[in-house]
């Protein structure tokens, strides 16, 4: 049975169980709901990199922090198709396209993204997008183009979120998830651990995700990748034990969800990752790059799969392939709806410091 009324205390009690018990319980639930030898392999593609106006304290793509990444304008549909075919040939069943946008704006660029969605859908791969905030109408247009999933993370508990991001609020994120839910696109939403949050915040984020009804079809659990130039550059990496606990707890409270062992795998041993799979992770991001930071080599991942007897999941095993609607049949009507900035005037000291540091560094050059 899927529960939507988990309390923070109950989730904390699960998270803090003796590790062997926690893993055993998670693995038992995992095999009741999923084939434990199948892992979904998803490939990330940064279709528009850097220059983002937001102030997410973890993110190398926020313009204000001046990190070392190479920014790029929106990729062409042909470039995306070539990358998707490459991903398919190396065993990926899903392509997740990420754009460093605060929110989607109607116009030429969004039309180009819709074309990318149609193109990948025709390759018989699941298509996911993560483009920032969305209106209901934009979600509907993505659905019509054949989008399978939309990723928009809650990132942390509502309380800790405010310590990391000031340019939009938790309720804005929930609104986007709600807009996606009104279509037939599946919801992908999770978060990051290792940002300096307490275990209570991890539990708080899981409460928020489990309360969603239906629960998200996929939940990415990212370990922070500390990037130089961001306010979180000095965070110590989370230990593998914390990652296993977070994955196992997520599996127990969201039994039907695909739990994705996401960013941070380059810092984990093969044995550590194997324990995450045992504890209920059944999805990874593959490819030598996440959006801007490194990820394990695909060949190494496939070797690990072989060693563990895991198979990459085929596309559309959880839900039918969505049908794209030809453009002329689209019900699209611009609504002119603007997502609101929910916390005007609010700023985070650590983010302001990082902004200033980046500015001074630039002046020195
Ligand atoms: N701009 C869009 C948005 O924010 O929704 C989409 C791209 S954004 C990079 C997608 C997610 O990547 C973030 O919500 C965050 O959870 C994750 N992420 C970004 N930087 C990260 C980092 N340094 N370490 C771990 N996860 C990160
Ligand atoms: C998610 O939860 N993790 C992915 C995906 N959704 C878009 C992104 C991880 C980004 C890690 C930092 C980077 O490579 O820029
Ligand atoms: Fe922009 Fe997304 Fe990065 Fe936030 S996480 S700064 S919205 S790209």
Ligand nearest to the CA of 50: 3
Q: What is the pLDDT of residue 362?
A: 75
Cis peptide before 5 (omega within 30 of 0): no
In 182-239, which residue ranges form alpha helices assigned H by DSSP? 199-211
Q: What is the pLDDT of residue 258?
A: 98
Tell me which of 46, 53, 58, 208 to substitute to probe ligand 1's pocket, judged by most ligand atoms within 8 Å of the beta carbon: 58
Q: How far is CA 16 from CA 20, 131, 247, in A?
A: 11, 35, 13
Q: Find the residues whose C-beta lies inside 6 A of ligand 3.
A: 52, 54, 56, 59, 61-62, 100, 102, 132
Tell me which of 53, 57, 100, 176 to substitute to probe ligand 3's pocket, judged by most ligand atoms within 8 Å of the beta carbon: 100
Q: What is the pLDDT of residue 343?
A: 79
pLDDT digits (tens, 9 = 90+) for 27-57: 999 999 999 999 999 999 999 999 999 999 9
Atom of ligand 2 nearest to the CA of 295: 14
Nearest protein Cα to ligand 3, atom 4? 56
Angstrom distance (rounded) from CA 183 to CA 21:
39
Q: What is the pLDDT of residue 355?
A: 86
Low-confidence ranges of the chain (pLDDT < 50): none
User: Cβ–Cβ contacts within 10 Å for residue 154, how many?
Assistant: 23
Please check whether residue 154 is in contact with residue 209, taking contact to mean a CB–CB distance below 8 angstroms.
yes
Q: What is the pLDDT of residue 328?
A: 66
**192 pocket-lining for ligand 1 (C-beta < 6 Å):** yes
Q: What is the pLDDT of residue 358?
A: 83
**130 pocket-lining for ligand 2 (C-beta < 6 Å):** yes
Residues near 216 by Cβ (< 8 Å), separated by ≥ 6? 177, 186, 187, 188, 189, 190, 209, 254, 257
pTM of the model: 0.97
Q: What is the pLDDT of residue 337?
A: 65
Please check whether residue 231 is in contact with residue 350, taking contact to mean a CB–CB distance below 8 angstroms.
yes
Q: What is the pLDDT of residue 334?
A: 66
**201 pocket-lining for ligand 1 (C-beta < 6 Å):** no
Residues near 42 by Cβ (< 8 Å), separated by ≥ 6? 92, 93, 94, 95, 96, 126, 128, 260, 283, 284, 285, 286
Residues near 324 by Cβ (< 8 Å), separated by ≥ 6? 117, 118, 121, 122, 144, 145, 146
Tell me which of 103, 153, 190 to substitute to probe ligand 1's pocket, judged by most ligand atoms within 8 Å of the beta carbon: 153
How deeply is 352 buried, as exposed, middle or buried, from its count of CB atoms within 10 A (0-12, 13-18, 19+)?
Answer: middle
| 109 membership: H or E segment, kind and range | helix 108-122
What's the token pair of residue 357? 């540091």
What's the token pair of residue 334? 């611009």
Classified as helix, coil or strand, 99 is strand
Q: What is the pLDDT of residue 97?
A: 98
| 12 membership: H or E segment, kind and range | helix 8-15
Q: What is the CA(184)–ligand 2 centre distance, in A? A: 24
**Which sequence spans correspond to the domains of the chain?**
8-320+339-364
**190 pocket-lining for ligand 1 (C-beta < 6 Å):** no
- The topology under which CATH files domain 8-320+339-364 is TIM Barrel (3.20.20)
Nearest protein Cα to ligand 1, atom 25? 224
Please check whether residue 26 is in contact with residue 279, taking contact to mean a CB–CB distance below 8 angstroms.
yes
Q: Which residues are catalytic?
A: 52, 56, 59, 96, 128, 188, 260
């Amino acid at each position: 049975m899927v529960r939507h009324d988990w309390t923070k205390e109950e989730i904390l009690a699960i998270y803090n169980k003796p590790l062997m018990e926690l893993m055993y319980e998670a693995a038992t639930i995992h095999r009741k709901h999923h084939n434990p030898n199948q892992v979904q392999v998803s490939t990330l593609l940064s279709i528009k990199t850097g220059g983002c106006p937001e102030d997410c304290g973890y993110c190398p793509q926020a313009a204000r922090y001046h990190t070392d990444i190479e920014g790029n304008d929106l990729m062409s549909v042909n470039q995306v198709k070539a990358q998707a075919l490459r991903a398919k040939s190396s065993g990926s069943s899903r392509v997740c396209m990420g754009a460093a946008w605060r929110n989607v704006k109607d116009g030429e660029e969004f039309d180009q993204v819709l074309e990318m969605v149609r193109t990948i859908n025709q390759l018989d791969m699941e298509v996911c997008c993560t483009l920032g905030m969305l209106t209901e109408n934009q979600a509907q247009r993505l659905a019509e183009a054949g989008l399978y999933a939309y990723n928009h993370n809650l990132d942390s508990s509502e309380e800790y979120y405010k310590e990391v991001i000031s340019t939009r609020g938790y309720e804005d994120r929930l609104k986007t998830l709600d807009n996606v839910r009104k279509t037939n696109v599946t919801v992908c939403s999770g978060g990051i651990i290792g940002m300096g949050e307490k275990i209570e915040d991890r539990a708080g984020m899981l409460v928020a995700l489990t309360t969603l009804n239906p629960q998200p079809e996929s939940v990415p659990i990212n370990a922070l990748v500390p990037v130089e130039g961001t306010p979180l550059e000095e965070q110590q990496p989370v230990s593998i034990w914390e990652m296993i606990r977070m994955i196992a707890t997520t599996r127990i409270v969201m039994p039907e969800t695909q739990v994705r062992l996401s960013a941070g795998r380059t810092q984990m041993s093969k044995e550590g990752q194997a324990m995450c799979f045992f504890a209920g992770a059944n999805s990874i991001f593959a490819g030598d790059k996440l959006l801007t930071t490194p990820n394990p080599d695909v060949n190494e991942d496939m070797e690990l799969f072989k060693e563990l007897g895991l198979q990459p999941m085929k596309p559309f095993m959880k839900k039918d392939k969505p049908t794209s609607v030809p453009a002329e049949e689209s019900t699209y009507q611009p609504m002119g709806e603007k997502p609101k900035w929910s916390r005007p005037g609010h700023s985070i000291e650590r983010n302001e410091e990082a902004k200033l540091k980046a500015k001074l560094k630039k002046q020195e050059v």
